[in-house]
Each structure stands twice: as structure tokens, then as C-alpha cells.
Chain A
Amino acid sequence: MTAYRLSSGGLLDRSKVLSFTFDGRPLRGFAGDTLASALLANDQLLVGRSFKYHRPRGIVSAGPSEPNALMTLGSGARSDPNTKATVAELYAGLTAKSQNRWPSLGFDVGAVNGLLSPFLGAGFYYKTFMWPRQLWEMLYEPVIRRAAGLGRAVLERDPESYEKSWAFCDLLIVGGGPAGLMAALTAGRAGLRVILADEDFRLGGSLLGETETIDGSPAPAFAERVVAELLSLDNVTLLPRTTVFGWYDDNVFGAVERVQKHVAEPSATLPTERVWRIAAKRALLATGAEERPLVFGGNDCPGVMMASAIGTYAQRYGVSAGKSVAIFTSGSSGYRTARGLVARGVTVSTIVDSRPEATEAAPDGVRVIRSGAIVDTKGRKRLSGIVIERSGFEELIACDALGMSGGWSPVIHLACQRGARPVWSEDLKAFSAPDVGGGLRVVGSANGVYTLSGCLRDGAEKATTIAVELGFNAAEASLPVIENEAEPSFAALWYVPGAKSKAFVDFQNDVHARDLGLALREGFGHVEHAKRYTTSGMATDQGKLSNVNAVGILAGMRGVSPAEVGTTTFRPFYTPVSFGALAGTSRDGHATPTRKSPLHEWARKNGATFVDSGLWFRSAWFPRAGEKTWRESVDREVLNVRANVGLCDVATLGKIEVFGADAAEFLNRLYCNPMLKLPVGKARYGLMLREDGFVFDDGTVSRLAEDQFFVTTTTAMAGAVMSHMDYCAQVLWPDLKVRFCSVSDQWAQMAIAGPKARDVLQQLIDEDISEAVFPFLAARSMVLRGGINARLFRISFSGELAFELAVPAGYGEAVAEQIMEAGRAHGICAYGVEALNVLRLEKGHLTHAEFDGRVTPDDAGLGRMVSAQKPDFIGKHLSARYGLTAADRMQLVGLKPVDRDKDMRAGAHLLKEGMKPSTLNDQGWVSSAGYSPVLGHHIALAFLKSGRERYGEKIVVWDKLRDHEMIAEVCDPAFVDPENKKLKA
């Protein structure tokens, strides 16, 4: 009872012995092996435990449809769960571990579930663990998840690197089997840019396991010749180890290339995987066909495999699946496989044919049982025999491997990923690809062409058609001569009656035929319902082997054609793709750009603590020796600005330069306040609304010349404002003569604020910037001493006498240092956004904490800014509507704690004293709060119902999140200098 390596043959390099381990056991294979073929060669047929019943499971297939042989490859951070051993290329040093077993693969405690299986039918969990509901998340789900399961993802950081790339071609060929290779050769010779992708590490597809001879040489040699010629063509790109996983709009395909998944020590200069997006003018789906398993009693016993897989292991990998092989078939393919096996020296004892009137001849010495059915298998961890029933009589036949051949299903997933449904073909007894137009054609056995010569011809012809469509001259392809060709035929056999034990439909999800019956009886007979109810066709293999049988069984039970049952929906991905590959290089710092202000270095040298602000790093505060908390630094900075002077980086503000004869008119329509007559050399605070009447953004508008404006936005809304302006200029008012561009990154802008700001700044500027010459809201270009072109604005966010100075970005650091130097005698300090926030809070200036999208200008106390005279501006009509002008709207107020020691936080709600917290009783909310070092207590800005009429009132600040409650007094939001004396000093 052993699988073994044949003494010769196979596409292996037997001189290259590769050592690997499986569950810690050291094993050996050859170069050219997959993990599965190497395991088989070592007679390691038992590879996993099933999902629900923990039944022993063996290798079933030799390709990507494998439901059972899922393993964790590698170790530590580099481990990959749920890898199919049947497609994993063997390499020296590979470590593989089986999954879903405890304590070991041979002895699994969970197998007790098998004894309980009468109670574990489809929907069992749904029905049993319904109540109490709270226990679902706490208890049932974790326990069930632990018991049932696939591999585990590691929590360590993934050390692999990944990348993404675009590719463009005239023709993408998916699949490098006979049809794909022939198509590539034809198109390549005609000069098309061809990409041929195949998931295998060796191109050739079914040719690698064929027994036919092509042009007198073995099929694999033919494949090798074609590949060699393709490699010599510059216009052809071969992508082995590449799975095309999705077909998207405009004939764009997604593919993942396993660049170095097959090496123990990956090169640091290459990605581990690469995701391709391939824009193809035309594509050919040459994905072949999948042999169907048969659903009979005990069909999940290790040793029961796809017949074609047994053939492939023998032909391509030189491995016999057993000492004595039996074949169970519903068509001619079983005989063909048997012939191939016998030719390779594998003992085939019996062919069980379900059809009564089969005519195929078996190889010499192989017994044929026609009209037979397998009803049970013997053996637990390894097949030891099959129970055959014919005409009511049972017979036990000893064998250690059984090949099932239930006919063929074209692999058509990609063609069905954009909404078209597969079409049931009575001729093929399978679902075939829908006609999805000329962009993607199906070719070869994926197209239901099952002879080798037919596949080669189909590939050549379709490639020629495409070449002609794209304007290339394609020569008539000379097709090779095939000998010993078989014409396959089969009878559809969805379920083998008389099963004496569980007949599995979906091996991976442990769904057996009776589960589908239960689903139908309980009203889940629709194919999409049955899938969810039984889990048939779910998980990593997505029912590649099982789906058609499940549909056939449902059809049989419902007494309809499979055409009527239909299939579940095909979606990307064809096979699982790692998150790492999909993320590509977009991780950590590469996931989003990092924006650093041109004054970043200046801030860093001055000891700034930085804070993430969107994509920006902003200097938050500048701690000095002896300051233990951030508050100490911030309080000092605030007091120093109020008493002396400070310098703050405000370069992150959005900056837009607007030009043109209609620039003033354009801005006049963008802002709710008048801009048309803004004098040259003046700045103005501006408020933009959304069309629905709420505040969109605020900033300053400075007129530098008759037809030139400089506009600032908030840091957060810079992008949104720019897009809004694009829309308005292009779509709403395309006839305005206006052009604008973002200059956010071009100017280093800094605020110099405090009573001594002018004294400091004047040292850098020859021109007079006194109050008389350069008053509040003055704005113009000037030249700094030393010749740097600058722009100076007399604007203030802090409420102090303040300037904003903008210099070309590259000069920012030098100018900032010069200002610090000039200010040293005046006690200048650098201050960050935290201090800036306290300063504006004390002054009652607003940010997006206040403009949260629900606030009108009047709510914010800026109602008088909204122009009544302007004929139109964005938001004009709806800002005047009922509801936005109601007297009981929430209005901006200040809050002072009655008990001066108490603090307030943003997000707290306001209540009348003695009222219960409820939505109905809600009086408003705190939008910003902080400690005012000037006043010596906390202050807050808040929105309060009819707030402006309620100054002096005591209100409850209710903060349930922090379980905090206090009484505050409502006041004017301008806590400091409400008369603007400092501002205009």
C-alpha cells in the first residue's frame, strides 16, 4: 500500500535532490517536483484533516483545484497558510506543515466530530447556536472557529516585498497548454505583442502529462520546442508562475506573478510577488478543462484522486499513486488514463465504468466492470479497497489508489467575472463560457474542444483571426501531426446511488450529498442559497472540483436541467491572492505620501515635536529644557506671543494663485462675501459656502494686482477647495477669463505674531511696514534685505499684531532663522500648532472644528459677511432657505467654567440645568476647548441653541464619554481683546 517514485521518467532533474520537511519529517524530492508530487513519492498521501469532521484527507488533484492538500509553508513571519501543495514548487529547505489537526495529523482529537456527524448536518451551527444570542460572539463563534478551520495567518510583520506593475499587449493568452502555446506561437510569429501567462512553473499545461506524440516526438518535447521559439521572439513575454486572477472592464486583467515564492532565501533585489495589471487589446482564455470527481460513498478516503491527477503524477513527476490502481469512470478518459499508467509501468487492476454500453477497450490485463458503481471504500488513512455494486451484487476489490473520472468541465471563470453567466451545454454536459465579445475569446478545451489536434488548431485559428483584426499579416499556421489521438466522451454522472457511507461533493468544506438534500428540503434549493446553507463551493478552492456536481445533484433532486439550476456567481479572484501582493509597495510610509513643510528643518532644529496632520507633519510645540509636559511648553509659547513675539510655520495652508481679467468676478462668485472691489494691496477674510448653504472653507484673499489674487485655504481643505474651483471655473462658468494654480508647495509661509512682531520684521525689510503705511489687512509683494522676493500680509489668526510672510520655499528655512535671530533681543519664540490653537481659541477664531459641515455663517457669528447685494455666489439661494435662518439654530458662543478649576473637552453636549440628557433636551455641543494661560482657566467654543441671546446663562457641560459633568457660563466667544485693539496696534 504505497505510492512510490517510478524508476525513470517524468520532467524531473533527478540529479538535483531537494531536501524538505513535512510536519518536521525530513523528506527528499527532485527539482521539477511540486510539494504534492514529492510527498506522494515519499508515500505521504495523508496531508490534512477535513474542515468539519476532521476526516483524514489525501491529495486529490495535481493543480489549482486542490481542496485537501492545503499546508502552511515556511515558518515564522515568512509562513504562508493554505498553500496548495499541488501547485507549490519544491525547493531545497522548504518546510511544510499540515493544518487543522491536533495534536497530530495521524491522531486528531477533532475526529470525534465524525462520530457526531449525524448531528452536524448543513445549517447545524445556525440552528443550534441561535440562543442566547450574546453567547454567539463570546463563546460559540470562537470555539467553532478553532475547531473548524484552515491555516492561520501569522501576526508577525511580513518581511517580504511586493510590487505592482502595468503591462500592455496586443494579445494576452491565459494558459500555456496546447491551445495557448499554439496561439502564442502564431501571434508571436505574426508580430503581435503577446503576453502568455500560466500559473505553472513549467509551460505546457496538459502537454506535460500527455501520452500522445506530436510530429513524432513526445508531447512535452513539443512544448519545450514551442517555448524555446517563443523565448527567442522579442515581442513575446512569457510569464510562468503567474495566475491571471481577474478580468476587469476594458479588457484589463489582474495577475499575480510568484517571482520568488519557490526559493528558500529570497533575493532582496526582487519582489516576492508581483501584481500585474495587463491592458490587453485581445485576450484568449486557454485555461483548459477540469476533470470532475464522482460522488460515491467513501470518496474522500486518502488514495481516491482524480484519474487525470494520477496520470499527471505518473507522466510528469514519475510518481505512482499506488501499487495497485483502480479507475472509476463515466467516460473514455478513464481508459486513456489507464493506458498511460500501464505504459509507465503502473499496475492498474480494474476499470469500473458506470456506463452500461461502453465500448472502449481496456489495456491488456485490466479488468473492466461495466455498469458498475462504487458504493463504499475501505481503509481510513489510506485506501485499501473499494466496494463495487453491479446488478445488486457487491464485490470488494483491493487497491491502494483510485482514480475518478466524471467527465470534464471547461475552466471558464474569467469569462464569467464581468456579469455574463455560464451557459449549460447539453453536448458538453458542462457549463461553457458565454459569448463575451471579441475582447476575450475562449480557446481549446476551455472552449469544449477536447482533442489535442483540435486544441492546437483552435489556438492557431483564433490567434490568426486576432492578428488580422489588429492589422497584422498572419501566415497560415502549419499544424503538427498527432498520433494515438483519443476522442473523449462521457456520460454525466452527478451522484452514484447506493452509497454506504458519506458521499462527498465538496471535500474542502465537508459537504456531502445528503447536505444538499437537506438544503433543498429546508427551502434552500436555489443554487446561491444552497451554497450558503451548506458552504458547498466556498473557501479557498471556491468549488473548482465540486460546483458542477453540486449543481447536477440539485438539478436531479429538483427534477430540472442543470441549465435551470444555474451556477453561483463567478468573481475575482480565481485563486487566493495574498494581501501583501495586492498592497504592493503601499505600506508604512509608502502607503501615503508624507508632506513636510519647507520650514520642517527649521522646526526640527528648534526642537519641535511633530504631529501628523493629514499627510503633513506639523510642528506641534517646541519644548525647552525643564518643561515636563506639553502643556508647560504650550502655555509658555502662548504667553510669549501675547507678551512679546513668536514665529509659527503656517506653510501647510493651501495656497492658490488666481489670474485673469475675470479673477475678481470668479472669486466674488466663489465666496459668500464681496471680493469684486477688494483693493489691490489688501487682504480680506473670505468664507466659502457649499451650494447647500453651509460653510465649506475659510481663508484669506489678497489682491496682488488688478488681475492677480493670492488665496489661502485651510490645511485640511486645500485639495477640496482646489477641486471645487476647478469645477466652478470649468463647468459652471467656463466663459470666465480666469486661470489658477496651486502654489501650496512653492511658498514657505510663516506667521510672526505678538506686540513686537513689527519690530522684529522691520529688521529684515527696508520698506516701512508701520501701522500708517502697512495697516491691518495690508498685503503686497516686497523684497527682503538681501534680495529675496517675498509677500507680506498683515493678517492675524492669533489676535495679536501679526504678519504672515511668504518666501519662495527654498528660502524658508534661512528666512525663519534670520527672523529668529532678529527677534532674539525681543524674546522671540517658535510656537507650534497647539499654541496657535490656544491663541485662536482665546480670540474666538474658527477652524474646521467649528465648520463641521453643519454650520452656517450666521451660526458661526459671521452672518453679516454674507452679501445680500451680490446677484449670485455658490450657496446663495439655499443659504436663505427656511431652516438655515431659524432663530433657534445652534449659535457660536464661548464657555467659561463656573468652577475655574474644571476643564471641558470638545465633543461634550450642553444641557439646561436639571434636564435629563436626551436628544430632545440637547442644547448644543462643545466644538473646541483648551486651557487659556492668559485667563488662567479652561475655555471652550460651543454651539448653543439661540446662543447669542444667552450670554451669562449657566449651562451643564455633559461629557458622557469621559463621565464628566460641569457647569459653564455662556459668554462672547472672543475671550481676549474683543475690541481688536491688539490686532490693529
Chain B
Amino acid sequence: MASLITCPHCGVRPKEEFAVRGDASLIRPASSASDAAWHDYVYVRVNPRGRTLEHWHHVAGCRRFLVVERDTVTHEVYSVVDGAAAAREVRR
């Protein structure tokens, strides 16, 4: 896990300021979606080796949810973007 995260709003900050929520690639299904879709969304998680997208909540900073793309093996952080911006992007 990274020691430092470059928050797009606050700059380089230590990881202790963040809370990791988990997989940021999940998309919340419509309430009318199938049970299977909801089951996957709520309960099923991959445990990737390598690149992964995670939501990091900057609790001790701007309180924004960030999408952190990082490598679970090398711990390299490839990108950090604001979660709302990323969510709008997905919707587009």
C-alpha cells in the first residue's frame, strides 16, 4: 500500500488520512436489476493481483472519495482522480 497519496484537491498526503472503501469499478445496479446482479454488487469481490481501482475516502482532508488506481503487487500508484468526476465519466 502506498505511503503517500496525491489527492487532486489537497496534494501529497500520508495514507493515514484516508479510509479505503474498496473496489471502485463497481456500478450500482438499478433497483429492478436481477438478484444475481445485486448479489454480485454487494457481496462478490475480486482480489486482483496487479492493477486495481479503489475508492479512497479522504476523511482527514477534503472528504472526497477518490479513485486510486494502484498495483497490489508493486504498490505503485498510477493515478488518483476525484470519485464524482470518475462516476460522471462512467455514466457518459
**Interface residue ranges, A against B (CB under 8 Å):** 166, 248-250, 252, 277, 279, 418-419, 691-692, 723, 726-727, 730-732, 734-735, 871-873, 876-878, 881
Contact A723 B88 (CB under 8 A): no
B29 at the interface (CB under 8 A from A): yes
Please tell me which one of the listed residues A250, A279, A872 contacts residue B31 in the complex, with CB atoms under 8 A apart: A872
The interface residues of chain B lying within 8 Å CB-to-CB of A871 are 31
Q: CB-CB < 8 A to A876: which residues of B?
A: 31
A731 vs B12: C-alpha distance when bound (angstroms): 22
- Which residues of chain B have C-beta atoms less than 8 A from A734's C-beta? 83-85, 87-88
19 A-B residue contacts at CB 8 Å?
A249-B1, A249-B3, A252-B4, A279-B3, A418-B75, A691-B41, A692-B43, A726-B63, A727-B55, A727-B57, A730-B64, A730-B65, A730-B87, A731-B55, A731-B84, A731-B87, A877-B32, A878-B42, A881-B38
Given contacts A732-B87, A734-B88, A877-B29, contact A723 B19 (CB under 8 A): yes
What is the interface of chain B mostly: helix, strand, loop, or mixed? mixed
A727 to B54, CA, bound (A): 13
Interface contact A731-B3, CB-CB below 8 Å = no
> Are A723 and B2 in touch, CB under 8 angstroms?
no
Residue numbers in A under 8 Å from B32 (CB-CB)? 877
B75 and A249 contacting across the interface, CB-CB below 8 Å: yes
Label chain A's interface by main secondary structure.
mixed
Contact with A along B28-63 (1 / 0, CB 8 A): 111111010010011100000000000101010001
User: Is B57 within 8 A of A726, CB to CB?
Assistant: yes
Name the distance in Å between B1's Cβ and chain A's nearest Cβ: 7
Q: Is the CB of A726 within 8 A of B88?
A: no
Residue in B38, B87, B88 whose beta carbon sits within 8 Å of that of A877 in the complex: B38
Alpha-carbon distance between A878 and B64 when the two chains are bound, in angstroms: 27
**CB-CB contacts below 8 Å: B62-82 with A:** 63-65, 74-75, 77, 82
How far apart are the CA atoms of A730 and B1 in the complex, in Å? 24
Supposing A727-B65, A731-B65 touch, asked if A878 and B3 sit within 8 A by C-beta, the answer is no
Closest A residue to B41 by beta carbon equals: A691
Known contacts A730-B87, A731-B65, A731-B83: does B42 contact A249 (CB below 8 Å)?
Answer: no
Shortest distance in angstroms between B72's beta carbon and chain A's nearest beta carbon?
A: 12
Q: Which residues of B contact A877 (CB under 8 A)?
A: 29, 31-33, 35, 38
Report Cα–Cα, A419/B71, bound state, in Å.
14
A727 to B66, CA, bound (A): 10
Q: Are B42 and A692 in contact (CB under 8 A)?
A: yes
Whole-angstrom distance between the alpha carbons of A723 and B22 in the complex?
A: 14
B residues near A419, Cβ cutoff 8 Å: 74
Residue of B at shortest CB range from A693?
B42
Please tell me which one of the listed residues A166, A691, A730 contacts residue B84 in the complex, with CB atoms under 8 A apart.
A730
Nearest chain B CB to A729's CB is how many angstroms away? 8
CB nearest to B38 among chain A residues = A877
B83 smallest CB distance to A (angstroms): 5
Is A881 within 8 A of B35, CB to CB? Answer: yes
Which of chain B's residues have a CB closer than 8 A to the CB of A166? 14
Instruction: List B contacts of A873 (CB < 8 A).
Output: 31
Give bound CA distance, A166 to B15, whole Å: 13
Q: Report chain B residues within 8 Å CB of A878.
A: 38, 42
Minimum-distance CB pairs A-B, first 9: A734-B84, A252-B3, A872-B31, A250-B4, A730-B84, A250-B3, A249-B3, A249-B75, A734-B87
B33/A727 in contact, CB under 8 A: no
Which residue of chain B lies nearest to A691 when distances are taken between CB atoms in the complex?
A: B42
Q: What interface size band does chain B fall in?
A: 35 or more
**CB of B49, distance to nearest CB on chain A (Å):** 13
Q: In the complex, how many angstroms separate the beta carbon of A172 from the nearest chain B beta carbon?
A: 14
Are A735 and B88 touching (Cβ within 8 A)? yes
Residues from chain B with a CB closer than 8 A to the CB of A691 are 41-42
Q: Select one of B29, B59, B84 contacting A723, CB under 8 A.
A: B59
CB nearest neighbor in A for B31: A872
Contact residues of B between 5 and 38, Cβ < 8 Å to A? 12, 14, 19, 21, 24, 28-33, 35, 38
Min distance, Cβ B90 to any Cβ of chain A, angstroms? 10
Which chain A residues border B33 with CB–CB below 8 Å? 877
Q: Contacts of B35 on A, CB cut-off 8 Å?
A: 877, 881
User: How far apart sit A732 and B33, CA to CA, in the bound complex (Å)?
Assistant: 16
Alpha-carbon distance A952/B33, docked complex (angstroms): 42
Given A731-B83, A877-B29, 11 extra CB contacts under 8 A: A166-B14, A248-B3, A249-B3, A691-B41, A723-B57, A730-B83, A731-B87, A734-B85, A734-B88, A871-B31, A877-B31
Residues of A within 8 A of B42 (CB): 691-692, 878
> With A and B bound together, what is the CA distance between A419 and B74 in angstroms?
8
Contact of B28 among A248, A250, A732 (CB under 8 A): A732
Q: A residues within 8 A CB of B21?
A: 727
A727-B26 Cα distance, complex, nearest whole Å: 13
Q: Which residues of A contact B87 (CB under 8 A)?
A: 730-732, 734
**Chain A residue nearest in CB terms to B67:** A731
Q: Is the CB of B2 within 8 A of A249?
A: yes
Whether the pair A726, B4 counts as a contact (CB closer than 8 A) is: no
CA distance A723 to B2 in the complex (A): 22
Pick from A277, A692, A872, A881: contact of B30, CB below 8 A: A872
On chain B, the residues within 8 Å of A252 by CB distance are 3-4
Question: In the docked arrangement, what's the CA distance between A792 and B55, Å?
Answer: 38
Query: Considering only CB atoms, which chain A residue lies closest to B73 in the complex?
Result: A419
Chain B residues with Cβ below 8 Å from A731 are: 24, 55, 65, 83-84, 87
Q: How far is the CA of A478 from the CA of B19 in the complex (A)?
A: 50
- Min Cβ gap A164→B in Å is 11
Give the distance to chain A from B46, nearest Cβ to Cβ, in Å.
Answer: 18
Q: How far is the CB of A668 from chain B (nearest CB, A)?
A: 13
**Which residues of chain A come closer than 8 Å to B75, judged between CB atoms?**
249, 418
Chain A residues with Cβ below 8 Å from B19 are: 723
Distance in Å from the Cβ of A698 to the closest Cβ of chain B? Answer: 21
**A248 neighbours in B (Cβ, 8 Å):** 3
- Complex: chain A residue closest to B2, CB-CB: A249
What CA separation (Å) do A418 and B1 show in the bound complex?
11
Interchain CA distance A881-B42 in the complex, whole Å: 13
CB distance from A734 to the nearest CB of B (A): 4
Assembled-state Cα–Cα distance A787/B49 (Å) = 62
> How far, in whole Å, are A876 and B29 apart by their CA atoms in the complex?
11
- Interchain nearest-CB distance for A221 vs B (Å): 40
Select the residue from A727, A730, A871, A881 with max chain B CB neighbours within 10 A: A730
Q: How far does the Cβ of A548 sit from chain B's closest Cβ, in whole Å?
A: 28
Q: How far is the CA of A735 from the CA of B19 in the complex (A)?
A: 24
Closest to A729 in B: B84
Q: In the bound complex, do residue A250 and residue B2 qualify as a contact, i.e. CB atoms below 8 Å apart? A: yes
Q: How far is the CA of A418 from the CA of B2 in the complex (A)?
A: 11
